[in-house]
Amino acid sequence: MAAAWNVILLDIEGTTSSVSYVFDVMFPYVLRELDNFLKCGWNEPELGPVLDLIAQDAGSEDFASWTADCTDELQRREKVATEIRRLMDGDVKATGLKALQGLIWKDGFERGELVAQVYDDVPEALEAWTSAGLRVYIYSSGSIKAQKLFFGHSEAGNLLKYFSGHFDTTTGPKKEASSYNAIAAEVGEAAEKILFISDIVAELDAAKEIGMDTRLSIRPGNKPVEDGHAHQAITSFAQVSIG
């Protein structure tokens, strides 16, 4: 029997990996390394566009305009660090923040200081799905660069071979139906042929609004979900029947 879907779209936190790993390991790593990273990498070419994004998220045209009141590099670095800490304290899903986090995590993963946690059922499911001909994509608030680092340096090894592509908030907010329309168009599939799995009901609602099938991920440590939602709950990817 053919699978009900051609594409499986996955969230990360609370779906493939524990929320606690992200909040208790990855976020504190950024805060711990932030000042030194900015100091050592200030003149690196990859940082410039990220600084412009941070400034634009803060309402300025670019980084030069945003830091026009700063008199030297130290003040500029301090302004960036203060803004990053403010955004992280508020759990703001800002594109510039995510891009900078990705750069800092890149250092951590490549040095072996970070090893991404995934649930035990995830690698087996990815193998089964892709072997059955399904395409698997990630849609996360974390930047695409950070997603690739995460799955490329997991405790189960390099899992990137299982993914056909990645989406982040540059596609659109995860709680808006238009974002899922954009993803369906990008992967070239009717919404009805896409299954989206997430631990956030509002995200699933947005996906279902355009016709995607959905599953609510229930994992240890996830926030409790109130009754009354319209999504089938699963506690393991093994419960996703592909026919």
| pLDDT tens digits, 127-167 | 999 999 999 999 998 889 889 999 999 999 999 999 999 99
Q: Domain map of the chain by residue range?
A: 7-17+116-239, 23-110
Predicted local distance difference test score (pLDDT) of residue 60: 97
Fold observed for domain 23-110: 1.10.720
pLDDT band at 2 (very low <50, low <70, confident <90, very high): low
Pick the CATH number of 7-17+116-239 from 3.80.30.20, 1.10.1040.10, 3.40.50.300, 3.40.50.1000: 3.40.50.1000
Predicted local distance difference test score (pLDDT) of residue 125: 98
Name the token pair of 169.
């908030």
| pLDDT tens digits, 75-110 | 999 999 999 999 999 989 898 999 999 899 999 999
Whether residue 118 contacts residue 16, with contact meaning beta carbons closer than 8 Å, is answered with yes
| pLDDT tens digits, 18-62 | 999 988 999 999 999 999 999 999 999 999 999 999 999 999 999
Whether the per-residue pLDDT at 3 is higher than 80: the answer is: no
Of the ranges 31-45, 63-77, 109-123, 219-233, which one carries the lowest mean pLDDT score? 219-233
pLDDT band at 1 (very low <50, low <70, confident <90, very high): very low
Whether residue 225 contacts residue 201, with contact meaning beta carbons closer than 8 Å, is answered with yes
